[in-house]
Amino acid sequence: MRRFGVVALSLALTACAAIAPRPQAPPIPVVIASTWSWQGRISVKSGEEAFSGQLQWQHDPAGDTLMLASPLGQGVAKIVRNSSGVVLDIPGEAPRQAPTVEALTADALGYVLPAAGLAYWMQAQADPSSPFEATRDELGRPARISQEGWSIEYLQYQADNPNQPRRLILTRDGLEIRLVTDSWQAE
């Protein structure tokens, strides 16, 4: 009888150990930078059309400067946003103006560059001004965010800065934008 009690206790303890929750990695602290610069590569695909090149982005609360270049570094477009609106300069064309980056890029480039949300998404955060859904990885970082009709998938994070995305894909209505970070500097 005593042997049965020891076996039963052993089985009970083993069963409890089997259903105990696995320890989760502690969440990584998140700091949102309001002023930063980003350099990397971009590819945009919409239907049969595609563009790939380099992107440099200077962001601060007062405005943005985005410079698109060919893969070889030749300037393709410059977008500047400030309190007066947004201006797009394309070499050989007259400057274009609009109230938002989204309106300007839709008209001039044929696709929407979602700059307002992207300023947050590039920091692995949802834009706090609108509802969103998110799934998280084992470290608590976003694996995917769905917001404003966009799906943002985080494929890889920086090795030296585990909160900063290295590779992400944005998709919406047949448009796919891929970004790869080469340099990120919070100021």
Strand partners, 44: 51, 177
Q: Helix H segments across 35-187?
A: 101-108, 115-121
The CA distance from 177 to 138, in Å, is: 25
DSSP secondary-structure letter at 15?
H
Strand partners, 96: 88
Locus of tokens 């934008």: 177
Could you tell me if 184 and 161 are in contact, meaning their C-beta atoms sit under 8 angstroms apart? yes
Q: What is the pLDDT of residues 50-60, one digit of tens each?
A: 989 999 999 99
Tens of pLDDT, residue by residue, the chain (187 residues): 444 333 333 333 333 444 444 444 444 445 578 899 999 999 999 889 898 999 999 999 899 999 999 999 899 999 999 999 999 999 999 999 999 988 888 888 777 888 889 999 999 999 999 999 999 999 999 999 999 999 999 999 999 889 899 999 999 999 999 999 999 998 8
